[in-house]
Amino acid sequence: MIQGSLVALVTPMLSDGSIDYELLKNLIEWHIDKGTDAIVSVGTTGESATLNEKEHCETIKKTVEFAAKRIPVIAGTGANSTDEAINLTKCAESVGADACLLVTPYYNKPTQKGLYLHHKAVANAVKIPQILYNVPGRTAVDMLPETIGELSKIENIVGVKEATGDISRIIEIRKLTSKEFAIYSGDDATAKEAIFSGANGDISVTANVAPDLMHSMCHAALNGDLDRANKINANLDILHNDLFLEANPIPVKYALYSMGLIKNGIRLPLTWLSEDYHQIIDKALSNTGIK
């Protein structure tokens, strides 16, 4: 089981929107050096919605290549088409990803039975370990704890990213699953409390800009060191909030650009961060001791 801080890594792009694989390599080296526990490639923060299937697979392949087995790579392979999710998951398995993260099918609003059958179909088609991803604020569908509990009985469904920010959901999912089933927070602002309540870590946006601090906070919480976890998290609170001033990953891409780690590339329909927020993000980085 992967525990701790799993970065939901941005996909670096040039100003024309093309993927910058050289900077991707540099980011991965930086995360390994700073103690990040795993990389989630081409998830929401990685702009999965605007990468075509070829780019999606190539970015996962490059991430696996650059990580070189020094750190686990979890590939975002979810889709609102079951066939597409299977194809992306097969691609991730073929290039050597350690696991896949599959978001609930968005927009078409399946029932709980539909969610179960979708994830079961992907799990049966591809044997790579799979992590469910529940984020109703983006998908317009909420996978209930009972459905997660049933899916956890499938051998290669090994965990869930629960991004509602509702700590009671973490507690309920833990009761409905085995201790071997991984639970990850998908909400930085409540990740510390989620770990205190039974989660195994955080799939984090904040970790893009503060990898060492997020690693330290998560492991302090996992080790039961409440005082240290609270102290570190208090320093991160401003980032947890300000990195969502506009839709993710708009603010975190600006933050990384401001830090000199990526160029100012993002894909439509997302746009570069409004100038009104530049100073706020810069101040948050400064106040956290990052810049």
Count of residues making up the chain: 291
Using 50 as the pLDDT threshold, list the residues of the chain that sit under it.
none
Residue 279 has a pLDDT of 98
* Catalytic status, residue 161: yes
Catalytic residue (one of 161, 184, 192, 253): 161
- Read off the tokens for 92: 């991730």
Fill in the DSSP letter of residue 37.
-
Residue 287 has a pLDDT of 95
- Give the CB-side neighbour count of residue 88, counting CA atoms within 13 A: 31
Residue 1 has a pLDDT of 85
Q: With H, G, I as helix, E, B as strand and everything else as coil, classify residue 19.
A: strand
pTM summary value: 0.96
Residue 140 has a pLDDT of 95
d(CA 267, CA 152): 35
Catalytic residue (one of 116, 133, 184, 257): 133
- Asked if residues 280 and 28 have their Cβ atoms less than 8 Å apart, the reply is no
Fill in the DSSP letter of residue 244.
T
Q: Write down the residue that tokens 């996962």 correspond to.
A: 60
CB neighbour list of residue 3: distance below 8 Å, 6 or more residues apart: 37, 182, 200, 201, 218, 219, 222
Residue 102 has a pLDDT of 98
- Asked if residues 99 and 131 have their Cβ atoms less than 8 Å apart, the reply is yes
Residue 61 has a pLDDT of 98
- Asked if residues 184 and 169 have their Cβ atoms less than 8 Å apart, the reply is no
- Asked if residues 32 and 70 have their Cβ atoms less than 8 Å apart, the reply is yes
> Which residues in the chain belong to E strands, given as ranges?
4-8, 38-41, 73-76, 99-103, 130-134, 157-162, 182-185, 201-204
Q: Tell me what percent of the chain is helix, strand and coil, each rounded to the nearest 5.
A: 50, 15, 35
